[in-house]
Structure formats: structure tokens, C-alpha cells
């Protein structure tokens, strides 16, 4: 830390002008063995307080992009920064800590721990990071409309309610960014809409940053911007997308949607 209490990483990021970005990718590529190129060099910055949807046909590299961006996979080349911190410079333990403390994850399956109560599930990232829980879990549950279900077991909740708990858990550490991989893929339309509205609210009210992979144009229409991948390359983006425009764009790319 320097004299003003800022870490060296913070100061470096400020000088580089990357501090205000929740995420930046510079020339990030990923090749698997035998010449499979899942991602060609990608350049992308996501400012704080933005809701970004990532779309594209099956196998275009969406999961690979998300995994590299979230430090779950190491890119073959290029630089990933979360809140100004460059991931490639981190050893495995520091990367694990960064993922736990500065990134929130929401997957298609909620992955709640069945033996813990709903409130304990929300508190888990704080407990794992040895941070004070206080009333943060309950406030998080209130934000997703489940303040009266803290003592319940996940098995007593519907799929949509479990996904709302998963969102509360993803937000409880006030992360730099939340990565959501098909968060509504297993939900009926009404529950999906509730989940998308919560993600939207987290961005609008709390200034969170969300990157969401989805196949669903209606889900993507909740985002500030939709980004389209094709064969590992960024091939287009739409600001303030609506579902009809997204469908048209995907159709032009030769990609059908349900």
C-alpha cells in the first residue's frame, strides 16, 4: 500500500486508465490442443455499472470467454484485468481469493449448498473470505424479496427463488463484476423475468456490473448492450438492444433462436 492507502495495483491501474473498468480484455485468445481456436484475440472493456449480454451460436466461444474473463481458465495469450488487477500476474492462491472476493458468479444451476440455510448460503462467500457477515446476508435477501426465508432450506424454495438466493450470494461481497452464465436457462418465463429484473436493479440501483451469457434474445434485451460472438470472434454489438433487433441480427448471422 502507498501512503494514501492505495495498493500498488490500484495506482498502476489508475495510471493506465483502466481503474474505471470493471473488466478489460486485451488481445485475449484461447486455443485448445490440436489447433482448436476457441477465441481469436478479443479486445473488450466493460465500464463499471454496465449490464452486458454475450450471445452467439453454440460453440462460438461464449463460455470460454467468460471463463477466461473470470479467471477460471488461463488464456493462451492476452491480458485480463478485473477492476484494474491483471490476472496473469497472480499465483493460483491469489487468483482464488480474487475470484471469491471480487467476482460474483451465477450459473444456470443455482449451486446452493443443501445442508445450509438460505441465509447461510448467502453469507458463505463472506465466511470463506473471513469477512464480517453482520446483517449483510439478510439485507441481500431483502434485496431479492426473500427476507422472510433466511431460515429455510434451499429444498423448500422454488427454482426461481433459489436463483434469487444465488444472485444475493453473488452480490454479497460487493464484487467488481458478476458473471452470469445462462442464469435463466432453467426457469419458466415468469421466474426468468424476476431474475432478469433483479440483475437490472443491481446495476441501476447499486451500480453493479453484470456480464451475462445467454441464448435468449428476451433475456439479452434487459442488458445495456448485447455483444455477438461467432466462431471465436466478436462480430457485432447492439446498444440498448430489443429482442426483435437481436433476433434479426442473429438471423442475418445465420443463427436461429427459439
Ligand X SMILES: Nc1ncnc2c1ncn2[C@@H]1O[C@H](COP(=O)(O)OP(=O)(O)OP(=O)(O)O)[C@@H](O)[C@H]1O
Interface positions with ligand X (CB under 6 A)? 32, 36, 38, 56, 58-64
- The dihedral through the CA atoms of 4, 8, 10, 14 has a sign that is positive
Is the Cβ of residue 64 or residue 238 nearer to ligand X in the bound state? Answer: 64
Is the Cβ of residue 157 or residue 229 nearer to ligand X in the bound state? Answer: 229
Beta strands in 87-214 (DSSP E): 103-106, 177-181, 210-213
Question: Angle CA(115)–CA(119)–CA(125) in degrees, nearest 5?
Answer: 85
Is the Cβ of residue 58 or residue 132 nearer to ligand X in the bound state? Answer: 58
Least Å distance, CB 251 to ligand X, is 17
Least Å distance, CB 226 to ligand X, is 14
CA atoms within 13 A on the CB side of 51: 22
Number of H helices, E strands in the chain: 9, 10
Least Å distance, CB 179 to ligand X, is 13
Give the β-pairing of 77-82 and 21-32.
antiparallel
Least Å distance, CB 247 to ligand X, is 17
Least Å distance, CB 213 to ligand X, is 7
Is the Cβ of residue 80 or residue 122 nearer to ligand X in the bound state? Answer: 80
Is the Cβ of residue 62 or residue 136 nearer to ligand X in the bound state? Answer: 62
Tell me the residue length of the chain.
258
Q: Provide CB contacts within 8 A for 244, sequence distance 6+.
A: 217
Distance, in Å, from the CA atom of 71 to the CA atom of 99, rounded to the nearest integer, reads 7
Amino acid at each position: 500500500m502507498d501512503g494514501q492507502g492505495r495498493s500498488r495495483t490500484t495506482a498502476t491501474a489508475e495510471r493506465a486508465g483502466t481503474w474505471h473498468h470493471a473488466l478489460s480484455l486485451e488481445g485475449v485468445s484461447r486455443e485448445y490442443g490440436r489447433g482448436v481456436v476457441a477465441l481469436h484475440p478479443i479486445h473488450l472493456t466493460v465500464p463499471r455499472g454496465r449490464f452486458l449480454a454475450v450471445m452467439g451460436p453454440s460453440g462460438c466461444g461464449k463460455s470460454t470467454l467468460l471463463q477466461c474473463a473470470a479467471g477460471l481458465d488461463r488464456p493462451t495469450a492476452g491480458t485480463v484485468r478485473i477492476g484494474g488487477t491483471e490476472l496473469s500476474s497472480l499465483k493460483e492462491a491469489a487468483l482464488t481469493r480474487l475470484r471469491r472476493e471480487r467476482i460474483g458468479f451465477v450459473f444456470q444451476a443455482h449451486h446452493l449448498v443443501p445442508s445450509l440455510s438460505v441465509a447461510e448460503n448467502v453469507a458463505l462467500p463472506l465466511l470463506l473470505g473471513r469477512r464480517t457477515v453482520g446483517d449483510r446476508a439478510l439485507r441481500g435477501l431483502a434485496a431479492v424479496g426473500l427476507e422472510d426465508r433466511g431460515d429455510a432450506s434451499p429444498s423448500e424454495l422454488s427454482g426461481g427463488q433459489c436463483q434469487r438466493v444465488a444472485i444475493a450470494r453473488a452480490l454479497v461481497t460487493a464484487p467488481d463484476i458478476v458473471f452470469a452464465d445462462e442464469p435463466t436457462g432453467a426457469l419458466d418465463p415468469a421466474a426468468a423475468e424476476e431474475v432478469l429484473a433483479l440483475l437490472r436493479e443491481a446495476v441501476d440501483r447499486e451500480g453493479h456490473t453484470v456480464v451475462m451469457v445467454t441464448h435468449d434474445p428476451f433475456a439479452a434485451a434487459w442488458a445495456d448492450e448485447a455483444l455477438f460472438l461467432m466462431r471465436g470472434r466478436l462480430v457485432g454489438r447492439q446498444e440498448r438492444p430489443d429482442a426483435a433487433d437481436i433476433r434479426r441480427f442473429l438471423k442475418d448471422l445465420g443463427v436461429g433462436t427459439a
